[in-house]
Amino acid sequence: MNRIFQKKTISLKPNKSIFLLLFILVVPSFLKAQELYDLSRCVLTALEQNYSVKVARNQEEIAGNNLTRGNAGYLPTLTTTNRYGGNVTTTSQNMNNGSQNVSSGIFNSTGSAAISLNWTIFNGFNVTTTYQKLSELKKMGEINTQMSIETLIGRIVAEYYNYIEQLNYFENLKYAVSLSRERVRIDEERYLLGASSKLELLQSIVYLNADSSRLARQNEAILESEVRLKRLMAVENLEEKISTKDSSIEFNPNLIYNDLLEATLNSNTSLQIARKNQTISELDYKIIASRAYPYLYFSSGYNYSYRGYGSGSVSDYGTLSINNQQTRSFNYGLNLSMDIFDGYNHRREKTNARMQIENRTIEYQEVELEIKADLLTVFNAYENNIRLVHMEEQNLEVARENLGIALERYKLGSLSGLELREVQKSLLDAEERLISVQYQTKLAEISLLQISGNIMKYAN
């Protein structure tokens, strides 16, 4: 009897080595301290730290900074110009009698200061329309930021559940390894008792090795998904281990198409951007049309100038000389102008602006049609995946029951090893199909919420 147990121990040494190697490959990554993340924390962390969202928010702030009355032209402009300078002059005068008058190092200085005010009183409603355009551009910046946030949330949620999917695959493969290990144990006992051949035992070990290898490779898939998730969250330490609060893929099976369609037409960010483009093109047309009106400007200015003479200058008063001269002046005026003829350029620009409005309208219709088509396509996939989930759940129950019966028959010797492997593979495939279709259903749900503008619910 002791000899039997000795043989059993020796035959199991290779399997223990395999399990030890698998333990070394898989377990260390889970031994470190791990941060616990639920979906809400992942989303909020990404919204705070993701680089693309930060850039979008900066662009939105730029558009907000541009919305000022001064930028639109409501306010006057005040400009000052100041200058101070001089020159040093040397003059030689040769007389007819041969004498020479030389004056050298004569310093003359000049200075001036001016301030001018310019104000557009009326320019054909251009200022008012420009301010409206700046307001629309600010709203466009907000919508672009919203789109960037929605896209990020969609990616975060998809990767979060992809990570859970990979973990579920890992658990599934762990179960497959445990089944293969149990088969090795059965075959070894049968071999030691002489009820089975060594070929059956070796084949069982081969299957165990194959399942263990797949389990080790699945660990790589988990790590890759984890890195992608941390990169989306812009986590500085990518080596920090995380764990998810959720362990299964939950989806909403009660989405209604008509409700989604109504929300899409009202809240879809792409449609909102297309509508803003229409509005902006209409304002551009009004700006061009305003050039047909007269322009009224007010201008005013004050000027001061100083000139100093180093050697003096003869004045109109005979022998008196001028040491310096100062001038002050104030001016103001109204300027009225109007384009009478500009080579038909104004008419050409108005025609082009009208065509641009038509283009924006066509683009809106195209975007609306594409979004409706995407919504319908994804919703059909969503409904089909829900049906597949129910089907695969039933298949999994059948596969589990089938495996239980097959194991009992295998222990009794009434089922071959190849047949048991097929039953085991059927169970593994059924579990993987269920995990996959659950994830695909979740992806469809994410897409539907993103299209309909409801993706922000994941941030709550």
Q: Does domain 80-122+297-337 have CATH number 2.60.40?
A: no
pLDDT at res. 233? 93
> pLDDT tens digits, residue range 229-238?
999 999 988 8
CATH class of residue range 2-67+123-294+341-459: mainly alpha
Q: Looking at residues 54-67, what average pLDDT do you find?
A: 94
Q: How many whole angstroms separate alpha carbon 171 and alpha carbon 182?
A: 17
Q: Looking at residues 277-285, what average pLDDT do you find?
A: 96
Amino acid (1-letter code) at residue 336: L
Q: Looking at residues 194-203, what average pLDDT do you find?
A: 83
What are the tokens at 334?
């109204």
| Angstrom distances, CA of residue 68 to CA of 79, 119, 136, 259, 295 | 19, 16, 12, 39, 22
- Contact, 231 vs 353, CB < 8 A? no
Long-range contacts of 361-365 (CB under 8 A, 24+ apart): 361/278, 363/274, 363/277, 364/271, 364/274, 364/275, 364/277, 364/278
- Contact, 233 vs 157, CB < 8 A? no
> pLDDT tens digits, residue range 79-96?
999 999 888 877 777 777
Q: According to CATH, where is 2.20.200 located in the chain?
A: 80-122+297-337
What are the tokens at 327?
């001038």
For residue 145, what are the contacts with CB-CB under 8 A and spacing of at least 6? 53, 56, 57, 59, 60
What are the tokens at 90?
């040397």
pLDDT at res. 311? 63
Long-range contacts of 174-181 (CB under 8 A, 24+ apart): 174/215, 175/431, 176/211, 176/214, 176/215, 176/424, 176/428, 177/22, 177/208, 177/211, 177/212, 177/215, 179/403, 179/424, 180/204, 180/207, 180/208, 180/211, 180/212, 180/424, 181/15, 181/19, 181/208
What's 317's DSSP letter?
Answer: T
Q: According to CATH, where is 1.20.1600.10 located in the chain?
A: 2-67+123-294+341-459
Side-chain-side CA neighbours of residue 60 (13 Å): 17
- Contact, 342 vs 303, CB < 8 A? no
Radius of gyration (Cα) for the chain, nearest Å?
A: 42
Q: How many whole angstroms separate alpha carbon 257 and alpha carbon 259?
A: 5
- Contact, 207 vs 418, CB < 8 A? no
What are the tokens at 347?
């008419």
Q: Looking at residues 320-343, what average pLDDT do you find?
A: 86
Q: With 80 as the cut, is the pLDDT of residue 104 above it?
A: no
Q: With 90 as the cut, is the pLDDT of residue 9 above it?
A: no
Q: With 50 as the cut, is the pLDDT of residue 240 above it?
A: yes
> pLDDT tens digits, residue range 176-192?
999 999 889 988 888 88
Nearest one of 206, 321, 281, 226 to 30, comparing CA atoms: 226
Q: With 50 as the cut, is the pLDDT of residue 30 above it?
A: no
Q: Please give the angle made by the CA atoms of 208, 212 and 215, to the nearest 5 degrees.
A: 145
> pLDDT tens digits, residue range 425-439?
999 999 999 999 999
Q: Looking at residues 201-205, what average pLDDT do you find?
A: 89
Strands 321-337 and 100-122: unpaired
Nearest one of 332, 408, 306 to 118, comparing CA atoms: 332
Average pLDDT for the chain: 87
Grade residue 313 by pLDDT with cuts at 50, 70 and 90.
Answer: very low
Q: Looking at residues 327-352, what average pLDDT do you find?
A: 91
pLDDT at res. 320? 59
> pLDDT tens digits, residue range 146-155?
999 999 999 9
Which residues lie across from 89 on neighbouring strands? 106
pLDDT at res. 237? 86
| Angstrom distances, CA of residue 302 to CA of 112, 328, 334 | 11, 8, 16
Grade residue 314 by pLDDT with cuts at 50, 70 and 90.
Answer: very low
- Contact, 375 vs 261, CB < 8 A? yes
Range in 50-54, 99-103, 108-112, 319-323 with the lowest mean pLDDT: 319-323
